[in-house]
Structure 1
């Protein structure tokens, strides 16, 4: 049975406990990390978080897609998407 995902409040509490700091400091660290990763990926760069994975921006070309409700073929313009590649270390821990 799948567990519920960890909430931001739970993550901040766990981060504060692991770093021996208060929740306010942990929350600001999490917010800063989020902002740094977001800014770098939005600018087209990539950020590697050792042991977790790599966040990157990927460009997708224009293409034809199908509307699943009607089956109609529709043209979709080129766009950019965020891509997360999970680190081997995390995969190994999960599959152990």
Structure 2
């Protein structure tokens, strides 16, 4: 089972005593900050929770799974997310 955006907004509202509208606005603001920062190549670190950074991916040769034909995959960027200590502890139980 996973938590969707609506459930996350409701949980934030309940724990912070914010309205659901304010919680939605806060979550949207976090999303915008992540996107803006990563698009500029700036990492985002929330101590204890997670860190998110843009990483470069080199050009490489891949294979089309349907035909088996080799294809060239251009260089680009990806996103690396690392769990912080509090998140790691929570997962371990």
The alignment's TM-score, normalised by the length of structure 2, stands at: 0.92
- Residue 28 of structure 2 corresponds to residue 31 of structure 1: yes
Q: Please, which of 54, 58, 77 is the counterpart of residue 55 of structure 2?
A: 58
Give the match for residue 87 of structure 1: 84
Distance in 1 between the 2:26 and 2:42 partners? 21
Question: 1:85 Cα deviation (Å)?
Answer: 1.0
Question: 1:12 Cα deviation (Å)?
Answer: 0.7
Unaligned runs of 5+ in 2: none
Size of the aligned set, in residue pairs, is 93
For the aligned residue pairs, the C-alpha RMSD in angstroms reads 1.1
Distance in 1 between the 2:74 and 2:18 partners? 47
